[in-house]
Every structure is written in C-alpha cells, then in structure tokens.
Amino acid sequence: MIVFAAITPHTPLLAPSIGKEHAEKHVETLRAYKELAESLYLAKPDSIVIISPHAPLYPDAFSGNVAQKFTGVLKDFGDHGTNIPVRADFLLLDHIHRGMRQENAPFTMTSAEELDYAITVPLLLLGEAATKPKLAPIGISGLDARAHFDFGTKLKNILQAENSRIAIIASADLSHRVNPNSPQGALPEGEAFDKFVREKVLALDGPGFLAADPDMVGKAQQSGYKPIAILLGVLDGMNVKAKELAYEAPFGVGLMTTRFDLA
C-alpha cells in the first residue's frame, strides 16, 4: 500500500559537491528536503518508487529498471565521489510489469546499475530514509500527458494491492525559463507554467493539470510535467491533501517541493 507521496526537485546544484558555496541560495528547498526526510522516515516504507524524467526514454512505452543493484552517481557533473548504493526491489518491479501487461499498458524493462541524477539527487538529500528501503525506478515515455495520468491510475492499483509499505516520489524540476537568472533567459511561458503547476497540484486537479496549454508546456523547458502527471494519476481518488513545502528559483529553474498527506 502507498504510505508516502511527494514531488521533489533534482537540480544537481542541490548536491553539496556541485552547488558548493551556492547552497545558501537553495535554503528553502534544502529545508523542505529535510522535512520530507523526516516524514519519509516516519512512514517507514519498505520500498520507494521514484519516477524520473531522465531515465532512458521510449517513444511509446514507460519503463522500469531491474538492474541487479543500483548506484546513485553524479559523474556527468564532475562529481566522481558520490556513490549511493541502493537495493533493487525485483519483486515490486515484476508486479508492476505483470500488472501493466494485464492492463495492456505499454511498459518495458531496462537494466542500468548507475542511476540518473533525477533519482540520485533525491536519494542523496533524503538520506537513509530513502536509501534504506528498496528502490523501484520508473521512467516516463514519449506519450502524451493523458497517457501518463492513466499510467498513474494503473500504477496506483498495483501499488495499493501490495502488502508492503510503498513510498512514491515524482522527481520533477519545473521551468528552466522562469526568470532572468535562467540559463537561456526568461520567457512568459516559464513563469506561467510554474504558476499553473503549483495551483493545479495543490488543488489535486488532475483534469485541469492535463488541460495545460501545450505551447506553454513546451516553451517552459521543464522536466516535471509528465512525472507529476503520473503522480496525480496515482493520487486520483485517494483521500489526500497537498502541502507545498517550498518553491524557489534562485538560478532560474523552478524548484517545487510538495508533500501529499495520506489519510
């Protein structure tokens, strides 16, 4: 059953080895991560499902990673010292795979020991609360947002049927064009996207979220829309309240940290 749900940002600048002296500029997000870590610890999950927008992307299928073991790394950003070992939850991934096949949902398996940074950063910042449980990494697809939401509703049914305690996290950065500090400058669609997502997530408004203007979503240059769509599908129909723990964009990338309190 699902016992914990959250949205976490994953910019590598949150990692002390990469952000270094800029850490104080992410003070609200780091504070929110600390609060999330405490909540996750209290939830006592046996397994964590992390939805990543940076896993291998298939145009017409979602994916699960079934490597023999996992290691969180940040090598692509010049950090060769971060190596976070995490156990794989083969059984849960098998149940997800079988369940999706029964639902005729497009789902494939990959096998990569090294985890992408959208998974590594949350593991790093959530600490032992996230690395002690087993991990089931899930990747988004090239399909549209509605397909991601529908995938989430199917995933919910599978996870809720499990006897083990499961946490689910959507790893999601918002717009990379949100303000003048953005790497490529600001766009009106960037600010509009972040405002839209924050409002719809807090309202748990799945239909409204899916009705986002495609032009706005595209121009926002984000990596969070589809992972959040999956999570909203998972939470659809559940007795849950959303609480935004932090939102900031000191370097022009929208960082939203949200916890969902389950009844």
Confidence of residue 263 (pLDDT cuts 50, 70, 90): confident
Residue 239 neighbours by CB distance under 10 Å = 8
pLDDT at residue number 66: 94
Q: Does any domain span residue 17?
A: yes
Nearest 5°: phi and psi at 259? Answer: -110, 140
CATH of residue 246's domain is: 3.40.830.10
Rounded to 10 deg, the angle between the 117-126 and 27-43 helix axes is: 80
d(CA 174, CA 196): 11
What confidence tens digit (pLDDT) does each residue in 39-65 have? 999 999 999 999 999 999 999 999 999
What tokens were used for 114? 């090294």
pLDDT score of 22: 78
State residue 56's pLDDT score.
94
Assigned domain for 124 exists: yes
Residue 159 lies in a domain: yes
Task: Please count the structural domains in the chain.
Answer: 1
Rounded to the nearest 5°, which phi and psi values hold at 50?
-115, 125
Confidence band (pLDDT; 50, 70, 90) for 26? very high
Domain membership of residue 180 (yes or no) is no
Check residue 69 and report its DSSP letter. Answer: S
